[in-house]
C-alpha cells in the first residue's frame, strides 16, 4: 500500500502533466530547473502542514475563552455551499493581507522570495514555499475559519478546493476561464504575480478571489497578454537546503561578504530568533508526535506520574490497579488481564470518575499499602487526559507509558495473569461499564 501522500503526488502528476502538454503556455521540460527541489518541498510540506494543524489546534485550545459559541453554532448551521462561499471570502481576505505583508516587509520578503524564485512555472511550483512562510500563511488562513466555527464538512471541502486551486494557478497552461476569472483564481491571474518585474509581481495578491485585488486596486490582468519571464532578481539558491537557509543567511556570496565584515553582521537577528522559536516548537511537536499525543497532552504528561512496562513488571508501584480508559470496542478486542474498563469519555463526563473511585475503594484493604491506579489506553494519549481528570480523587495515580501496545510487545495475552499476579490488587467486585 502506497502512503496517501505518494498517491496524491501520482494523481496530481497524472492530471497536470498531460494538461501542461496539451495547453502549454511556455515550451518547457517536465524535469525543468529545480524540479527535484520542488518534489522535496512536496513531501516535506505535507508534514509541515500537519505540524501547522497542530499549531492551529494548540492556539485554538488557548483561545477557547475568546470563542463565541452562539456565533459558531449559527455559522455551522448554514447550508454547506453558503459556508464554503463565506470560508473562501474570509480566508482569502486573511491571505491577501498576509501575502501583502510578505511582499512589503523586507525580512518577510526574504522568506517569500523563495516562492518567487521559480523560473519555470508549472503545477509543482505551487509547493515551493519556505516552511516558515507555510506556517505563517496557514495560520493566517485557517484561524479565522476556526474562530468563526465552520463545520467539519466545510473544512474538508475548503481544504480540497484550496489545494486544487493552488496547483491550478501555477500550472503552465494557457486555458481561458471566461467570466469565471473574476471569481476563481486562474493560471493567467497568478502567472502575472510570478513575473520578474517588481512593479507587476507586487500585484495579484489573492489566491482564490481575484475580485479582492480589483477591490484593493492591485489587480493586473491585461487582456491578450501573458508574462514572458518568471523569477526575482535576488540570487536564491536552487537546492532545497540552500533555500531553507536563504532567509536566515542569504546565499553563499552574501555569507562570504558578511563573514568578511565580521561575525556580528553574520546573523540577522529577527529571522534567527524566529528560526530558533520554530526549531523549539518543531522539536516539541516532533516529541509529542513520537509519543502519540498532541502538544497540550504531551505537556500535561510531563507533569504526570509515568510508569513503563518494565517498571510495572518489576513491581515499582506495587500494588497497582490497572484501569483501561479506551473505548468498549477496543476493550472487547484485547485488554491487560482482567483490568476493568472506564472509558475516557465517561471520565470526562464525570460519572466515570465515580466509577474509578468505586473500583479503587473496593480494593482497599485495611492495614495494607494503598494501591496505585495505573491508567492505560492504546498508546498513552488518552490515559494522560484521564489522569488530569482524576488527579483529585485521593488515590495515587500513574499512566502506562506506551499503553497496551507497549505491554503487548513485552507480554503475550496468555501470560497476563501470571505476570500480573505479584503486582496487582484486584477489586473485591470488578466494576465494568458496558
Ligand atoms: Zn507573492
Ligand atoms: Zn505562486
DSSP annotation string for 344-405: HHHHHHSHHHHHHHHHHHHH--TTSPPPEEEEE-SSSHHHHHHHHHHTTSSSEEEEETTHHH
Whether 261 and 327 share a structural domain: no
Residue 394, number of CB atoms within 10 A of its CB: 10
Is 182 a domain residue? yes
In a domain, 335, yes or no: yes
Report the pLDDT averaged over residues 137-163. 89
Q: Domain for residue 381, yes or no?
A: yes
Are the C-beta atoms of residues 321 and 423 closer than 8 Å to each other? no
Q: How far is the CA of 126 from the centre of ligand 2 (A)?
A: 6
pLDDT in tens, 58-81: 666 566 556 677 788 889 899 999
Rounded to the nearest 5 percent, the helix, strand and coil shares of the chain are 60, 5, 35
| Four-CA torsion 60, 64, 66, 72, nearest 10 degrees | 80
Ligand nearest the Cα of residue 232 is 1
Residue 283 forms part of a structural domain: no
User: Tell me, what DSSP letter sits at residue 233?
Assistant: S
The residue among 252, 271, 230 whose CA lies nearest residue 108 is 271
Half-sphere CA count of 214, side-chain side, radius 13 A: 12
Task: Domain of residue 347: give its range.
Answer: 300-420
In a domain, residue 186? The reply is yes
Ligand 1 center from residue 17 Cα (angstroms): 24
- The pLDDT value given to residue 367: 64
125 domain-assigned: yes
Specify the DSSP element, H or E, that contains 306.
Answer: strand 306-307
The answer on 143 and 253 residing in a single domain is yes
Is the pTM here over 0.85, yes or no? no
- Ligand at minimal distance from the CA of 137 is 1
Out of 269, 291, 323, a domain closes at 269
Cα of 150 vs centre of ligand 1, distance in Å, is 27
Does residue 340 sit in the same domain as residue 388? yes
Same domain, yes or no, for 168 and 265?
yes
Answer yes or no: is pLDDT of 264 > 60. Answer: no
Query: How high is the pLDDT of residue 158?
Result: 94
Render the burial of 331-348: b for 16+ CB within 10 Å, e for the rest.
beeebbbebbbbbbebbb
Number of domains forming the structure of the chain: 2
Residue 310's domain is classified under what CATH number?
A: 3.40.250.10
Mean confidence (pLDDT) of the chain: 85
The answer on pLDDT for 55 being more than 80 is no
How far apart are the CA of 211 and the centre of ligand 2, in A? 17
CB 39 within 8 A of CB 122: no
Confidence of residue 431 (pLDDT cuts 50, 70, 90): very low
Residues 264 and 315 in one domain: no
What is the rounded distance in angstroms from the CA atom of residue 397 to the CA atom of residue 307? 10
Residues 155 and 209 in one domain: yes
Same domain, yes or no: 71 and 188: yes
Q: Mark whether 12 and 101 lie in a shared domain.
A: yes
Q: How far is the CA of 112 from the centre of ligand 1 (A)?
A: 7
Q: Which three cell numbers stand for residue 412?
A: 503475550
Let me know whether 264 and 321 are in one domain: no
Does some domain include residue 430?
no
Both 166 and 309 in one domain: the answer is no
Does residue 263 sit in the same domain as residue 317?
A: no
Domain boundary among 250, 269, 288: 269
Do 199 and 87 lie in one domain? The reply is: yes
What ligand has the least distance to the C-alpha of 118? Answer: 2
SS3 190: helix
**Does residue 287 fall inside a structural domain?**
no
Closest by Cα among 400, 213, 390, 380 to 297: 380
Amino acid at each position: 500500500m502506497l502512503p496517501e501522500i505518494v498517491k496524491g503526488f501520482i494523481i496530481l502528476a497524472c492530471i497536470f502533466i498531460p494538461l501542461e502538454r496539451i495547453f502549454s503556455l511556455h515550451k518547457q521540460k517536465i524535469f525543468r530547473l529545480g524540479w527535484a527541489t520542488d518534489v522535496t518541498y512536496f513531501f516535506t510540506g505535507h508534514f509541515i502542514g500537519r505540524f501547522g494543524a497542530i499549531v492551529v489546534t494548540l492556539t485554538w485550545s488557548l483561545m477557547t475563552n475568546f470563542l463565541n459559541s452562539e456565533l459558531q453554532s449559527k455559522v455551522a448551521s448554514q447550508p454547506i455551499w453558503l459556508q464554503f462561499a463565506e470560508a473562501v471570502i474570509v480566508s482569502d481576505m486573511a491571505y491577501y493581507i498576509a501575502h501583502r505583508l510578505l511582499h512589503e516587509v523586507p525580512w518577510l520578503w526574504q522568506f517569500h522570495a523563495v516562492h518567487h524564485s521559480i523560473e519555470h512555472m508549472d503545477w509543482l511550483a505551487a509547493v515551493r514555499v519556505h516552511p516558515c512562510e507555510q506556517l505563517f500563511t496557514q495560520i493566517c488562513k485557517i484561524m479565522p475559519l476556526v474562530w468563526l466555527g465552520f463545520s467539519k464538512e466545510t473544512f474538508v471541502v475548503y481544504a480540497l478546493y484550496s489545494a486544487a486551486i493552488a496547483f491550478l494557478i501555477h500550472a503552465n497552461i494557457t486555458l481561458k476561464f471566461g467570466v469565471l476569472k473574476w471569481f476563481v483564481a486562474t493560471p493567467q491571474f497568478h502567472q502575472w504575480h510570478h513575473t520578474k518585474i517588481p512593479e507587476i509581481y507586487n500585484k495579484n495578491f489573492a489566491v482564490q478571489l481575484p475580485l479582492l485585488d480589483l477591490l484593493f486596486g492591485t489587480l493586473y490582468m491585461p487582456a491578450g497578454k501573458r508574462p514572458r519571464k518568471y523569477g526575482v532578481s535576488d540570487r536564491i539558491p536552487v537546492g532545497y537546503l540552500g533555500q531553507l537557509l536563504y532567509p536566515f543567511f542569504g546565499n553563499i556570496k552574501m555569507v562570504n561578504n558578511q563573514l568578511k565584515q565580521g561575525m556580528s553582521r553574520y546573523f540577522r537577528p529577527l529571522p534567527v530568533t524566529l528560526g530558533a522559536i520554530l526549531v523549539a516548537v518543531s522539536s516539541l511537536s516532533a516529541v509529542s508526535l513520537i509519543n502519540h499525543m498532541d502538544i497540550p497532552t504531551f505537556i500535561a504528561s510531563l507533569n504526570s506520574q509515568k510508569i513503563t512496562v518494565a517498571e510495572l513488571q518489576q513491581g515499582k508501584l506495587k500494588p497497582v490497579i490497572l484501569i483501561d480508559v479506551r473505548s468498549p470496542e477496543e476493550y472487547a478486542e484485547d485488554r491487560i488481564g482482567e483490568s476493568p474498563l472506564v472509558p475516557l469519555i465517561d471520565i470526562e463526563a464525570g460519572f466515570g470518575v465515580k466509577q474509578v473511585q468505586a473500583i479503587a475503594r473496593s480494593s482497599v484493604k485495611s492495614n495494607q499499602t494503598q494501591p496505585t491506579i495505573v491508567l492505560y489506553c492504546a498508546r498513552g494519549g488518552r490515559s494522560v487526559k484521564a489522569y488530569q481528570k482524576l488527579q483529585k480523587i485521593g488515590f495515587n495515580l500513574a499512566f502506562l507509558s506506551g499503553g497496551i501496545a507497549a505491554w503487548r510487545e513485552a507480554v503475550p495475552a496468555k501470560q497476563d495473569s501470571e505476570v500480573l499476579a505479584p503486582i496487582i490488587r484486584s477489586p473485591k467486585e470488578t466494576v465494568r461499564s458496558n
